[in-house]
């Protein structure tokens, strides 16, 4: 436990410095999958039947590749693409599910049917937490609770000011609470879409 605290000790027993260092390590691991997930969205854009949605998806991918943080309405405009072919939860390819699993800090080394079930379950739980959190109000959370909530949803909040974390979490909840159960694939991809280019996330 002394030599391998990150692997053998739960977060409660980490020192403050270890918490920052270890969370950075975990985020660096999940961040490796972000470009792969965005490239997949770009590749499947031509498969979207609606011309307007197809244009929006291509435009979003281009903006993100140029370092732009997308607006909430830009993400929500694509919700229909994530409810059925080609990006609905039941239509995702195995490689995309593996990449999304890594982004959610879940093991990708499982059969596709198990990966899909785990991603569905994990995203549904977050969606339910989001509804409860929206009802409670972000203002009721402590600084540490806000940072933990952001980290769970894909943002490396350890180096971002509390107010910026609250702003980001507000954007996340605005998207999440607008989605129906059939559109939760968008919430899953939102881990990447909303966090990749957020100010202060160069680490």
The pLDDT value given to residue 57: 96
Average pLDDT of span 123-147: 94
pLDDT tens for residues 98-113?
A: 999 999 989 999 999 9
Q: What predicted TM-score, i.e. pTM, was given to this entire model?
A: 0.86
Q: Assess whether pLDDT exceeds 90 at residue 129.
A: yes
Q: Assess whether pLDDT exceeds 60 at residue 203.
A: no
CB pairs under 8 A, 24+ apart, for 12-19? 19/158
pLDDT band for position 145 (50/70/90)?
A: very high
The pLDDT value given to residue 20: 66
Average pLDDT of span 121-127: 96
Residues 6+ apart with CB under 8 A from 120: 89, 184
Residues 6+ apart with CB under 8 A from 13: 5
The pLDDT value given to residue 27: 73
The span from the CA of 157 to the CA of 164, in Å, is 9
Among candidates 31, 19, 109, 151, which has minimal Cα distance to 9? 19
Task: Name the average pLDDT for the chain.
Answer: 88
The span from the CA of 185 to the CA of 176, in Å, is 11
pLDDT band for position 24 (50/70/90)?
A: confident
């Amino acid at each position: 436990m002394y030599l391998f605290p990150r692997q053998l000790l739960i977060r409660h027993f980490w020192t403050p410095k270890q918490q920052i260092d270890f969370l950075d390590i975990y985020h660096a691991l999940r961040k490796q999958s972000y470009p792969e997930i965005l490239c997949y969205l770009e590749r499947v854009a031509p498969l979207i039947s609606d011309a307007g949605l197809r244009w929006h998806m291509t435009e979003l991918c281009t903006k993100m590749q140029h370092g732009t943080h997308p607006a909430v309405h830009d993400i929500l405009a694509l919700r229909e693409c994530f409810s059925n072919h080609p990006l609905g939860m039941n239509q995702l390819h195995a490689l995309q599910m593996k990449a999304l699993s890594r982004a959610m800090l879940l093991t990708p080394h499982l059969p596709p049917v198990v990966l899909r079930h785990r991603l569905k379950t994990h995203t549904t739980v977050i969606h339910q937490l989001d509804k409860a959190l929206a009802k409670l109000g972000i203002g009721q959370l402590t600084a540490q609770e806000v940072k933990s909530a952001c980290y769970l949803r894909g943002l490396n909040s350890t180096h971002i000011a509390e107010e910026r974390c609250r702003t980001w979490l507000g954007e996340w909840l605005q998207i999440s609470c607008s989605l129906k159960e059939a559109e939760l694939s968008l919430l899953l991809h939102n881990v990447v879409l909303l966090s990749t280019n957020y100010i202060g996330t160069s680490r």
